[in-house]
Amino acid sequence: MADRPSLEVVTEALGKAPERKFGETVELSVNLKDLDLTVPKNRLEDEIPLPNGRGKAVKVAVFGSPELCQKVRGVADVVVSSGELDDFAKDAKNAKRVVTDVDFFLAEAPLMPTIGKRLGVILGPRGKMPRPVPPGSDPTNLVNALKRSIRVRSKGNRTFHAAVGTRSMPPDQIAQNVDAVLNRIVGKLERGRTNIESVYVKTSMGPAVRLW
């Protein structure tokens, strides 16, 4: 099947999807082939910035020293200083709520072992272990970049999904996001495009339209 322009496919997917009373996500469905996904290096796990953002709020949390935390207050959605980490971890119910609610986590590198020990059981299974940042750095730019990013995880599955926007966004912006995500995925696969069997675009509850 010949490739179709992303904008054409996005427009068709939006047109075929019935109107809903909630803000639907627009997503890619990617089907892989000729990869042994029992081998960890063949699994995709990446944070991909979208040129036009996700079309909805993305939350970022930061664990760090008081000095680093001060730099990101008002930028990050959740800030936990090293002195507050023990209390945060002890309140398992609140920690699970925060981990569920927050999309991305950053942590000052020296705190990573403690976070792994105290919170790894909550963060790990959800694919939300923090990205380490250098001690004393200012992660403000990274926080802002993550607020327009998505996380892609294939795990051991041949088929996986990636959000590329919301239905309220202009189709051309969604199409640009689609191209950015696919370019990144192709660049991560062992044999690039030949490891992709098919790609579809759809809204959360709408019919899928084939792109590749």
**Which stretch of 19-28, 44-53, 103-112, 133-142 has the lowest confidence by average pLDDT?**
19-28
Among 5, 3, 7, 4, smallest CA distance to 173 is for 7
Contact indicator for 209, 27 with CB cutoff of 8 Å: no
pLDDT digits (tens, 9 = 90+) for 156-195: 889 999 999 999 999 999 999 999 999 999 999 989 999 9
- State the CB neighbour count (10 A cutoff) for residue 147: 19
How do beta strands 196-203 and 159-166 pair? unpaired
Sheet arrangement for strand 196-203: 159-166, 25-32, 196-203, 209-210
Say which CATH architecture domain 60-146 belongs to. 3-Layer(aba) Sandwich (3.40)
Element (H, E) at 152: strand 149-153
Residue 102 scores a pLDDT above 80: yes
Domain coordinates in residue numbering, the chain: 6-55+149-210, 60-146
pLDDT digits (tens, 9 = 90+) for 13-24: 999 988 887 888
Say which CATH architecture domain 6-55+149-210 belongs to. 2-Layer Sandwich (3.30)
For residues 128 and 15, give the distance between their C-alpha atoms in angstroms, rounded to a whole number.
34
Query: What does pTM read for this prediction?
Result: 0.82
